[in-house]
Structure 1
Amino acid sequence: MKRKILITGSILGLTAVILGAFGAHGLKESLSTEAINSFETGVRYQMYHSFLLLIAGSFLPLNLKALKTVFYFVISGVLLFSGSIYLITSKPLTGIDISAIGWITPIGGALLISAWICICYTLIKSAK
């Protein structure tokens, strides 16, 4: 499981760098400043959570159940939170309109928060 978490964290980090560069250079002329800022928020949160997976898989004393829970919360959260932001902000270019399901962005955020809660709970519980 740790290997899977580390590989996934690496892939999320790699794609965050690629998307960040694309946003900074490829989208500047095509999107509004507000859309670029939103896109960068998605990239930033994806990168933060790639670091979280790398740290959880390498250093945190989490049991297997907690590791799996954190892994699935992060993957689901990044896909829903960052993924929906990427789609919403790039609508002028892609023509993809997900405004009808824009409510998935806060659900993704809640899943990311849940990953952090799981880590905190597990660490507090194991310290007793």
Structure 2
Amino acid sequence: MEKIVLLSAALYGALGIIFGAFGAHALKKTFTEDLLKSFETGVKYQLYHAIVLLAIGFQLPFTNSLEKSAAWCLIVGTFLFSFSIYGLCLSSAKGKKLRFLGPITPLGGLLLVIGWVLLGVSFL
């Protein structure tokens, strides 16, 4: 489990830097201010959770289901939250908003909250 968590952290970290640079430079000309802010939110959450995954990957033994569930919620939640925002922003800028992604963002957010709560409970 440690390797999955650490690899997820590294992947999210690298992609967060790439997407952040992409948003700051390439998308600045085509995105509205609101779309840029939304895209930036996706990048921030992705990078924050990459750091958290890195920390727990090194610190937790993942010997119980609570720790494993927390990690999976953070991994999947980050993907659903951030990548659905990217998809919504990119498709909106093209004039073909992918509306099915709308409900995925809060689902990802819910998984992030659950991951944090499970992480807190595992510390008890």
TM-score for both structures, normalised by structure 2: 0.90
**Structure 1 residues 3 and 41: CA distance shift in structure 2, 3 A:** same
**Structure 1 residues 32 and 93: CA distance shift in structure 2, 3 A:** closer
- For 2:104, the aligned partner's letter is I
Number of aligned residue pairs: give it: 124
Moved more, 63-72 or 37-46: 63-72
TM-score for both structures, normalised by structure 1: 0.88
Instruction: Report the Cα distance in structure 2 between the residues aligned to 1:13 and 1:63, rounded to whole angstroms.
Output: 25
Instruction: Report the Cα distance in structure 2 between the residues aligned to 1:98 and 1:64, rounded to whole angstroms.
Output: 38
Matched-pair identity in %:
37
- For 1:69, the aligned partner's letter is S
How far apart are residue 117 of structure 1 and its match?
Answer: 0.3
Aligned residue for 2:98?
98
Instruction: Report the Cα distance in structure 2 between the residues aligned to 1:4 and 1:82, rounded to whole angstroms.
Output: 19
Instruction: Report the Cα distance in structure 2 between the residues aligned to 1:24 and 1:72, rounded to whole angstroms.
Output: 30
Instruction: Report the Cα distance in structure 2 between the residues aligned to 1:49 and 1:106, rounded to whole angstroms.
Output: 16
Structure 2: give runs of 5+ residues left out of the alignment: none
Q: Deviations over 1:31-78 (max 9, x none)?
A: 001100000000000011111110111124653423321222112211
Structure 1: give runs of 5+ residues left out of the alignment: none
Moved more, 65-74 or 48-57: 65-74
**Structure 1 residues 49 and 17: CA distance shift in structure 2, 3 A:** same
Aligned residue for 1:55?
55
Runs of 4 or more above 6 Å deviation: none
Aligned residue for 2:11?
11
